[in-house]
A and B are shown apart, each in its own frame.
Chain A
Amino acid sequence: MKKIYFMLLLSLLFVLAACGAEETNPESDEEQQEQTEADAEGETEEQEGQSQERVISHEMGETPITGTPENIVVLEFSYVDALAALDISPVGIADDNDSERIIEPISEKIDDYTSVGTRKQPSLEVISSLQPDLIIADLQRHKEIYDQLNDIAPTIVLASLSADYQGILDGFEVIAEAVGKEEKGAEVMQAHDEKMEELRAQVPEDEERTVLPAVVASSGFFAHDDNSYTGSLLASIGLDNAIKSGDERYNKINLEQVVEFNPDVMFHMVAGDETVVDEWEENDLYQGISAVESDQVYEVNRNMWSRFRGLISSEQILEDAIEHLYGE
């Protein structure tokens, strides 16, 4: 019964979305045309640093941005990574009021910034006091305050929390366009692709071990499956995830399920001093898991492995993983 309702609601939503899309389509075509025209004319203008309007389409619609944003406030770590990759330093970051959460290769690249509070509930007052000219927010976390953010500065909303690796790459391109650094963005992307090739080459063709990255906390074991950011990232260089059939990412699973998925390698992103794994270790079932038997359980940095979700951190994660798997 419940399913039928969901289906009904879903179809209704699709119809609504389709209507909406139809209405906006001609407009956006026009805008796109304008934009390409502007691009054609503006090639030299850009070099002179003159302002031109770009229309950025994102998760919550389209936002016109003029010129090159200088004061950028970001409400997720992904966007810090993206900006750092583009050599831009944000003025405000929702860093959960803990600058330690910003992983080293990135904190080295950015200047001092102002914390705007938690990612869950960033302080609008602080954001507005920074007088930004661009805000980058997350769909799931900040949808409700989109209007208020837009009152402060042009705001683009991307999926970071719910994105997989490909989604993060797409988000990066949108950010590069929004900050008016498409060329630099393309360069960074190319360098990233090359780096990824290089990393992929270090994984033997016949690699058959399955991997399972997971956040282990006192509240449970949160598996990052094939669809998750970390899972899809590892899969992209040929490290297959132990959980393929999952319909949800970051699923909290119990010991029996871990045993059933039986990963050959586990990456534990440890949160807190005591975790469920401490309890499990005394259990024969746990000792029988392939990764535990062959001593291939690795502790990794949670900030890097699950909070950042960006180009720089992606490379770091893979280097980390390869180091663990094929290092000395």
Chain B
Amino acid sequence: MKKLQKEKSIMLLLCTIVVLVTIIGIGVGAVFIHPKDILLSLAGVDIGPNGFIIQQYRLPRIIIALLAGSSLAISGAILQGIIRNPLASPDVIGITKGAGLAAAIVIILFPHAFILARPIAAFVGASIVAILLYLFAYKTGLRPTTLALVGIALGAICHAGIQFLLVKFPVDVNAALIWLTGSLWGKGWEDVWLLLPLVLILIPLTVALALKLDILNLGDDVAEGLGEPVGITRMVLLFLAVALAGSSVAIVGSLGFIGLIAPHMARQLVGNKHRLLLPTSALVGMLIVLVADGLGRGVMPPVEIPAGIFTAVIGAPYFLFLLKRLQTKS
């Protein structure tokens, strides 16, 4: 019991940090807004033109950062759980790439398409990759290694498609490139209303299934021995992971590395129990996206740097550090 106490306080601490960074993050940008004004504005007090900036631009963006960060991180935690491979993530098994290819097709080939076409296409792209993944891996009973390898192969095919489009239509790639890097630029309340309901349904559902992930982690034989229908459970969890990653990628683009490193960081903090790991991953994911987007807005205003560049800058070195640690361990 005592041990759990420690983890709870870690989570509490993380929560506090997320809240603090959120408030500071709202202040960062082309116009710096004092935290006191931010709190006043959030409480409904009129603080003049800055209030408009907060309500109209910063707040929806920050909310999107929280939603996307948490769903990508949880998606990664689920995938690492079911594939039982610490290197699994929505990027690695091709889901993000599928979304990327579909979105790039819409952006580049149909510049006149209606605005919602891009997020819809991205979500459909992610789903198609997931379905193919499932079909190809089904015969082997969705064995973790098969899932990972098929995912990597599908991702590579999609990536080739993206590259083809980029080379073939160099002048049209501007918009596509921003999306492919992942950016929260220009996100507004409409995007919040698209993403919020999905996340509010999917994340609690996943946390409710946390125990199943723990059972799967014991290995297929033990899990089956415990009476767990391994194949079905894995399918349900895979579906949740794809839905979470797909919906947030549809809005913010292929924001990389979060699904990979957030669960890892969380594991260092609270260990392997998914009941704790999933919410902690979500908090870490939120924090990474918040910081990345805050930096993107604040480093050299009015120039905006896509958040995806910062997640890669934070993510890649951490990932290398992790690999090094894994190596020395084994």
The distance from the CB of A245 to the nearest CB of chain B, in whole angstroms, is 15
Residue of B49, B118, B306 near A121 (CB, 8 A) is: B306
Give the distance in Å from the alpha carbon of A122 to the alpha carbon of B304 in the complex.
Answer: 7
- Decide yes or no whether A251 CB sits under 8 A from chain B: yes
> B235 an interface residue at 8 Å Cβ cutoff?
no
Q: Smallest distance from the beta carbon of A114 to chain B beta carbons, Å?
A: 8
| Residues of chain B within 8 A of A141, CB atoms compared | 174-175
Per-position 1/0 for B200-228, Cβ under 8 A of A: 00000000000000000000000000000
The reply to whether the CB of A252 lies closer than 8 angstroms to some CB of chain B is: yes
- Report if A123-B115 is in contact (Cβ < 8 Å); known contacts: A128-B52, A140-B174: no
B320 near A: Cβ within 8 Å? no
| Chain B residue nearest in CB terms to A249 | B171
B167 at the interface (CB under 8 A from A): yes
A248→B170 CA distance, assembly (Å): 9
Chain A: CB-nearest residue to B300: A97
* B: contact size bracket: 35 or more
Q: Tell whether B111 is near chain A: CB-to-CB under 8 Å.
A: yes
Determine the chain A residues whose CB is within 8 A of the CB of B167 once the complex forms. Answer: 252
Asked if A250 contacts B171 (CB within 8 A), the reply is yes
Cβ of A125 < 8 Å from any Cβ of B? yes
Which B residues, 88 to 110, have Cβ-Cβ distances below 8 Å to chain A?
109-110
A128 engages B56 (CB within 8 Å): yes
- B58's nearest neighbour on chain A, judged by CB, is A125
Which residue in A6, A17, A148 is a CB contact (below 8 Å) of B186?
A148
Answer whether A144 and B168 are a contact pair too, CB < 8 Å, given A97-B302, A118-B304, A123-B302.
Answer: no
The residue on B at minimum CB distance from A124 is B57
A129 at the interface (CB under 8 A from B): yes
Q: Taking the nearest CB of chain A, how far is it from the CB of B235, in angstroms?
A: 28
* Contact A161:B174 (CB < 8 A) given known A121-B183, A124-B57, A144-B115: yes
Which A residues touch B112, using CB under 8 A? 13, 17, 59, 139
Minimum C-beta distance from B125 to chain A (A): 13
Bound-state CA distance A145–B171 (Å) is 20
Asked whether A121 and B171 contact (CB < 8 A) given A6-B109, A97-B303, A116-B302, the answer is no
Q: Is residue A146 contacting chain B, with contact meaning CB distance below 8 A?
A: yes
| Least distance between A250 CB and chain B CB atoms (Å) | 4
A117 within 8 A of B: yes
Chain B residue, CB-CB nearest to A20: B114
User: Contact mask B53-81 → A, CB, 8 Å, 1/0?
Assistant: 10011100000000000000000000000
CA distance A240 to B301 in the complex (A): 43
Chain A contact-residue range equals 35 or more
Contact A121 B185 (CB under 8 A): yes
CA distance A9 to B121 in the complex (A): 12
- Say yes or no for B169: interface residue by CB 8 A criterion: yes
Minimum CB–CB distance from B50 to chain A (whole Å) comes to 10
Known contacts A117-B302, A144-B175; decide if A252 and B170 are in contact (CB<8 Å).
yes
Bound Cα distance A125, B303 (Å)? 11
- Indicate whether B113 reaches chain A with its CB closer than 8 angstroms: yes
Q: How far is the CB of A11 from chain B (nearest CB, A)?
A: 13
Contact with A along B162-193 (1 / 0, CB 8 A): 00000111111011001000010110101000
Which of A143, A147, A250 has the most chain B CB atoms inside 10 A of its CB? A143
- Could you tell me if B115 and A143 are in contact, using CB atoms closer than 8 angstroms? yes
Q: Name the distance in Å between B259's Cβ and chain A's nearest Cβ.
A: 24
Per a CB cutoff under 8 Å, which of A115, A147, A148, A162 touches B302?
A115
Check: A120 CB closer than 8 A to any chain B CB. Answer: yes
Binary interface profile of B, 108-140, with partner A (CB < 8 Å = 1, else 0)? Answer: 011111010010000000000000000000000
Cα distance, A97 to B113, chains bound together (Å): 30
Q: How far is the CA of A300 from the CA of B110 in the complex (A)?
A: 33
Query: B186 to A121, Cβ gap below 8 A?
Result: yes
Q: Indicate whether A117 sits within 8 Å of B170 (C-beta atoms), given known contacts A123-B30, A139-B111, A144-B115.
A: no
Bound complex: CA A126 to CA B56 (Å): 12
Residue of A nearest to B183 (CB): A121
Taking CB atoms, residues of chain A closer than 8 Å to B303 are 96-97, 117-118, 121, 123
Is residue A23 contacting chain B, with contact meaning CB distance below 8 A?
Answer: no
**Contact between A125 and B168, CB atoms less than 8 A apart:** no
B111 touching A251 by the CB < 8 A rule? no
Partner of A117, one of B113, B174, B304: B304
A121 with B56, Cβ < 8 A, contacts A141-B174, A144-B115 known: no
Contacts of A251 in B (CB 8 A): 170
* Chain A: minimal CB distance from B165 (Å): 11
Tell me if A250 and B175 are in contact (CB < 8 A): no
* CB contact under 8 A between A126 and B174, given known A6-B109, A121-B185, A248-B168: no
Which one of A121, A122, A140, A144 contacts B172 once the chains associate, using CB atoms below 8 Å? Answer: A140
**Assembled-state Cα–Cα distance A140/B178 (Å):** 12
Interface check B263, CB cutoff 8 A: no
For B306, what are the chain A residues with a Cβ–Cβ distance below 8 Å?
A: 121
Known: A141-B174, A144-B186. A128 touches B300 (CB 8 A): no
B294 at the interface (CB under 8 A from A): no
* 24 A-B interface contacts by CB (under 8 A): A13-B110, A13-B112, A13-B113, A96-B303, A97-B300, A117-B304, A120-B174, A121-B183, A121-B304, A123-B302, A123-B303, A125-B302, A128-B52, A128-B56, A139-B112, A143-B111, A143-B175, A146-B115, A148-B186, A162-B111, A162-B172, A222-B170, A251-B170, A252-B167
B interface, CB within 8 angstroms of A: 29-31, 49, 52-53, 56-58, 109-113, 115, 118, 167-172, 174-175, 178, 183, 185-186, 188, 190, 300-304, 306
Given contact pairs A143-B175, A248-B170, a sample of 15 additional A-B residue pairs in the complex whose CB atoms are under 8 Å apart: A97-B302, A117-B302, A118-B303, A120-B174, A121-B304, A122-B304, A123-B303, A124-B57, A129-B53, A139-B112, A140-B172, A145-B185, A162-B111, A162-B171, A248-B169
